[in-house]
Amino acid sequence: SYTTDTKSREENKKTIESLYSLSVDVKKIRRLKEWVLLQDVAYVKETAGILQEMGADGTAVASILERCPEAILRSPAEINSQRALWQLVCQNEKQLIKLIEQFPESFFTTKYHQNQKANIMFFQELGLKNNIITRFLTSAPNIFYNPVEKNKNVIETLQRNYLNLGGSEANMKIWILKLLSQNPFILLNTSTAIQENLEFLQKNDFTDHEVLQLLSKLKGFIFQLSSTTMQKSMLFSKNVFKCSDQELKQLVLKCPALLYYSVPVLEERLEGLLKEGISVAQIRETPMVLELTTQIVQYRIKKLSALGYDIKSGSLESLNGTKKDFEVAYGKIQSKKERPIFNPVAPIQIED
């Protein structure tokens, strides 16, 4: 609704002066979103006033307006409506202003106010805790822009499939809430796409129990894939590991990344491992190593080699897992190496 034709328009002097009076870096706005400065109507002082009322100091106000200059184009009524809306899920104004400081664009997108409101109510009815809803508002704001009916439709499709796959009515709510809090972007999919992907897994002989297992392991990311990409990734793994359909299925259950990552990604990671002298047989034994980027693998191999650990002859288990998992495995190898040789005749020192 705002013009982006910068040639025929002049900057609004009143806007510029008001921003300068708040110590806002106007050059930064010119560089990133100059069109904001060309609008005839802007609410600089009013917006700053509302933010200060909520507890923002001068530095915070300047930072918010530099990062999200379009905030000054929202009317005080729109901003106060957003404020009331976000207060439904925030503990207090202190938390609210902290969120606005971190995610100003999410807060100042007032275009979908009615949808946002309806979706907040729906998520609360569903049983999502307010702290999870605030996380969604800031990190996945577009799920609130959907009409609430669309989000309800996706949730109903997931619930129906969960029960059809043998999930129990008693566990369904916990399962849905966990899936949503792990990956709210599920709601950006269509019910049809969800249905198609589940049918693809069933056609590939995954049992209902195994499909449920994959959904939980993949945190719902499976719905962001297409049956074509999953098919290609499975075929690639089958050729690399020279395995039967049944063996491939077991590998995928062990390492769902084989289904989730595209062929170019799997190819690059496999190549990186082979360059380090790791064999295909070793990777087949511990396929989870393909979940790691080539850079992470190289870094971990380097650290283990420095301890004299030979990854080519040992297990790849020590490479696996999160940063924390690796540090634990590394610590064990390190302490084993540093441990003094036990002397059976040395007196044992016992502290009281």
The top-scoring range by mean pLDDT among 278-282, 307-311, 343-347 is: 278-282
In 3D space, the residue among 280, 277, 256 whose CA is nearest the CA of residue 267 turns out to be 280
Tokens of 218: 């993949």
Q: How many other C-beta atoms lie within 10 A of the C-beta of residue 306? A: 9
Look over the chain and give the mean of its residue pLDDT values, rounded to a whole number: 89
Residue 285 has pLDDT above 70, yes or no: yes
Q: What percent of the chain has pLDDT over 70?
A: 93
Q: Please state the rounded mean pLDDT for residues 43-55.
A: 95
Q: Please state the rounded mean pLDDT for residues 188-202.
A: 89
Can you tell me the distance from the alpha carbon of 242 to that of 253, in angstroms, rounded to the nearest whole number? 17
Q: Please state the rounded mean pLDDT for residues 264-287.
A: 92
Q: Please state the rounded mean pLDDT for residues 284-308.
A: 90
**Which one-letter amino acid corresponds to residue 283?**
I
Domain boundaries, the chain: 11-110
Q: Please state the rounded mean pLDDT for residues 29-45.
A: 94
Tens of pLDDT, residues 306-337: 888 888 877 788 888 888 888 888 888 888 77
pLDDT band per the 50, 70, 90 thresholds, residue 343: low
Q: Please state the rounded mean pLDDT for residues 186-196.
A: 88
Q: Please state the rounded mean pLDDT for residues 147-156.
A: 95
Tens of pLDDT, residues 75-131: 999 999 999 999 999 999 999 999 999 999 999 998 999 999 999 999 999 999 999
Q: What percent of the chain has pLDDT over 90?
A: 67
What region does 114 belong to: left with phi over 0, alpha with psi -120 to 50, or beta?
alpha
Residue 352 has pLDDT above 50, yes or no: no
Can you tell me the distance from the alpha carbon of 93 to that of 106, in angstroms, rounded to the nearest whole number? 16
pLDDT band per the 50, 70, 90 thresholds, residue 340: low
Are the CB atoms for 184 and 218 separated by under 8 Å?
no
Tokens of 211: 């499909």
**Tell me, what's the pLDDT at 47?**
96
Can you tell me the distance from the alpha carbon of 98 to that of 310, in angstroms, rounded to the nearest whole number? 48
Are the CB atoms for 205 and 249 separated by under 8 Å?
yes
Can you tell me the distance from the alpha carbon of 298 to that of 296, in angstroms, rounded to the nearest whole number? 5
| Count of all residues that appear for the chain in the document | 352
Are the CB atoms for 158 and 176 separated by under 8 Å?
yes
Residue 25 has pLDDT above 90, yes or no: yes
